[in-house]
Structure 1
Amino acid sequence: MGDVVRAPWDAYFVTGYDTCSEVLRGRDWLAPDFAWQERQADTERWDAVATREMTKTLSRLNAPEHTCQRRSLGNLFDRSTIQRLTPQVEAHVTRLLDELADKLRWGEADFVSTVSEQLPISTIGSWLGIPPEDYPHILEITHNQVHAQELLPTRSELNVSAEATLRLRRYFTELLRQRRANPGNDVLTGWIHHWDAAEPDREKADEILYRLTMFVTIASLETTATLLSAMVGLLLGEPGRWEWLAEHPGHIDAAVDEVLRYDPPIQINTRVAAEDTVLAGVPVAKDSMVHVLYGAANHDPRRNEDPDAFDIERSGTHLTFGGGVHYCLGAALARLEARTLLTQLLKRFPTLRVATPPAYASRLVFRRVVSMGVAI
């Protein structure tokens, strides 16, 4: 139908790899921030509590505010940070696979609730110094809050997200209060020191800190959990693929990237036109929304030959982590978690198989594997 296709509402779908890349990296395409929302006729949609809360986070900010907050984080997961985190992630994986092994002795086990959802919260939680007993609470409210980031959320979904958003604010506000009172040698304490020095208004500094901490936490949970579940499901989906990868561990990183290309955890990202423009030959008026379809871009045959085949040896390219100033902050961490998990799984469970196919939540933007039964 073309690289740019009119949506049933006042927006466009962007499907081609190069055109999606142009939107993600181009200065003429902005995140739908408050300034844009205030110019829209559908005020009810943009005035929803959860929507407004997410509009304050990094993913919905534009320069100069986005630049300022992003610089305050630095390169969150640079090479040295990943090296420091590797032993911790390995320990988390070992513990979770011990639990999986215990459950498999009795038959089928749910890989999602046992491993996929637990590894990201264990990793980011220990990094930020979040108490482990709070992990189930954070997972629950994150699952509910994400409705606000869907393409066309219903009123009931926005109500669920609103309640989850209020709970997130209460939790992370209290976490910051406690960390101020009892600073430690952790990244959150470092952020507090930075913003106390950079912003003389303590109330404003606390608001920025809340948004950063909340966003970094929830952004790393649903997406990475879905990556881990999809990875296991796809690699076990064809006879012999699991065994081949166990014999060729040098292809583990390539396998992770092929999973990211084939079934991206986020399917849609939205930008708005900064000015009247032309995109792939299609006139797009200022303020018009364009929905970048990551899955379609990754399956563009002009970029990846035979794109609907899952091929570990492909060495293809993808846009799953986005591009430009909004490139995913946690890309290196997600790869570390996936690589570490897959390495240990192949060694410990050579006969692993999918017993119950993955069940997905009914969503358009954020993929979520709700359950997937495995057995040996």
Structure 2
Amino acid sequence: MQEIDAPFLNVSDPHFSIRSQEVRRARDQSWYARTPYGYAVLRYGEMSRLITNRKLRQGSYAWPALNGAGGSFADWWSRMLLSQEGQDHTRLRKLAAPAFSQDLIVSLQPKFQALANELIDAFIADGRCEFMSAFAEPYAARVVLTLLDLPHDQWREFTDIAVEMGLALGVTYRQDLERINAATDRMFGYARQVIAERRKRPLTDDFLSSLIRALDEGEGKVSELELYDLVVLAIFGGIDTTRNQLGLAMETFILNPDQWRLLAQDPGLAPGAVEEVMRVRPTVTWVTREAVEEFEFEGLVIPKGCTVHLFSQSAGTDPREFPEGVFDITAQRRRHFGFGGGVHHCLGHFIARADMSEALALLSRRLANPRFDGTPEFLPDSGNTGPITLPIAFDPA
């Protein structure tokens, strides 16, 4: 297929939906589409090969510039771990890795269970709740604060800031610029406060201690600004994505009640439920790469500097790889791309998988027959998406 014949998707349109019939038609027609930002990869096979292709670098660093956006969020975004390549990326990733080790996450699972039960206890007798504010938001925020060994009394402030910052990852970035930058300034204020308070206590082996020690001992491994950048990333990334993904999971199960009942009967299916939700309804609907040199792929010449969007939601539901329209938490699937891939594979995937597994297992056992109790409100259905509000009713189990 010639490039000019490929379908065009206007992903800059605030009403664009990555789950639309338009995208499905484009995927049927071609493995890629043209967009205002470069190319979009629509199919599973091509995405699985390109996401680890060394001729592509992480491309999200350019997102603020593509939107004509500046300010404190854009400055932080250009510096932080996800936007780095090569030695700087490796150095920062090694510094952050101990906070997200599998052994540490396993040790925290009883705390995740206790937190989930505490939140459910607060609303279960009512038989209804606004799921995002009653569960998804406080759970996501307090999991991150648990990981950072911080008190939970400020979870609301952290959540509100993370949600405002998260607007930058959607197609309305430009129109929300003032709110996004104000939230970023507030988050950095909290990061400085958190570090100052942590320094008052003896340093241990936790995430914050390891970063502070690297700075204070003058090993040259991290600068003070990089220290703040990593703390902001841990708080923002952990809260915003987990909050959204839990909301999308609840929506998906409401639309698939037989799978909710199956999970309630066998909580051991919870890890598979997380993977299946993230395959069909990921909060991160695409990941971005940029060509570091010109190369040809499947007949398409991709110039140096070209942006390539890898549509994880479209690839995860590609009928060439997965049964069309099937949501099955018992199925063994090939990997999804909800956590990205390659050297930029999500560093926090262990904690995300663990905390969401515990949450879904307990929710399914305690909330029977969940259903919509009003009209949910959602972020735009592209970029990073999720419910803004999700009113539900249920039968206490």
Give your verdict on TM over 0.5: yes
Structure 2 gap ranges (5+): 1-28
1:312 Cα offset (Å): 2.2
1:206 aligns with 2:224: yes
Question: Which residue does the alignment assign to 1:158?
Answer: 177
Aligned to 1:136: 156
How far apart, CA to CA, are the structure 1 residues paired with 2:313 and 2:67? 29
Could you say which residue in structure 1 is the equivalent of 2:326?
A: 309
Taking the aligned partners of 1:280 and 1:48, their CA distance within structure 2 comes to: 39
Matched, 1:174 2:189: no
1:85–1:239 CA distance, 2 compared to 1 (3 A): closer
Note the C-alpha offset of 1:113: 0.5
Q: Which moved more, 1:226-235 or 1:109-118?
A: 226-235
Partner of 2:45: 18
CA distance in 2, matches of 1:300, 1:44: 29
Q: Distance in 2 between matches of 1:123 and 1:176?
A: 18
Assess if the C-alpha contact under 8 Å between 2:259 and 2:329 holds in 1: no
State the shift of 1:363 in Å. 5.2
Looking at structure 1, the residues matched to 344 and 195 of structure 2 have their Cα atoms a distance apart, in angstroms, of 25
Of residues 109, 117, 121 in structure 2, which corresponds to 1:98? 121
Q: Aligned letter for 1:166?
A: D
SS of residue in 2 equivalent to 1:278: strand
**Matching residue of 2:237:** 219
Per the TM alignment, residue 178 of structure 1 is displaced from its structure 2 partner at its CA by 2.2
Moved more, 329-338 or 191-200: 191-200
Cα deviation for residue 51 of structure 1 reads 1.6
CA distance in 1, matches of 2:217, 2:48: 37
1:30 aligned residue: 57
Counterpart pick for 1:250 among 268, 287, 296: 268
Q: Deviations over 1:109-164 (max 9, x none)?
A: 1111011111111111122133322211111111111222334622x312211111
Contact 1:360 1:370 in 2 (8 A): yes
Alignment correspondent of 1:236: 254
TM-score, normalising length from structure 1?
Answer: 0.89
Matches within 5 A, 1:242-321: 242-306=260-324, 308-317=325-334, 318-321=336-339
1:323 equivalenced with 2:346 (yes/no):
no
The equivalent position to 1:113 in structure 2, one of 124, 133, 141, is: 133
Aligned length: 364
Q: CA deviation at 1:349?
A: 2.5
Matched residues, percent identical?
Answer: 24
Q: Could you tell me which runs of 5 or more consecutive residues in structure 1 were left unpaired when the two chains were aligned.
A: none
Question: Please, which moves more after superposition, 216-225 or 191-200?
Answer: 191-200
Deviates more, 1:254-263 or 1:359-368: 359-368
Q: What is the alpha-carbon distance in structure 2 between the residues aligned to residue 182 and residue 220 of structure 1?
A: 24
Alpha-carbon contact 1:100-1:115 (below 8 Å) kept: no
Deviation at 1:243, TM superposition (A): 2.3
SS of alignment partner, residue 163 of structure 1: helix
Provide the secondary structure at the position in 1 that maps to 2:309: strand
- Measured against aligned partners, the alpha-carbon deviations of 1:199-224 in whole angstroms (never above 9, x if no partner) come to 449xx621111111110111111211
CA positional deviation for 1:351:
4.0
Q: Over the residues paired in the alignment, what is the CA RMSD in angstroms?
A: 2.4
The residue type equivalent to 2:379 in the other structure is A
1:70 to 72, 90, 93: 93
CA contact (8 A) 1:258 1:312 kept: yes
TM-fit CA distance, 1:174:
2.0
Q: Report the residue type matching 2:136 in the other structure.
A: S
* Contact 1:14–1:291 under 8 Å retained in 2: yes
Cα distance, 1:219–1:65 mapped onto 2, change above 3 Å: same
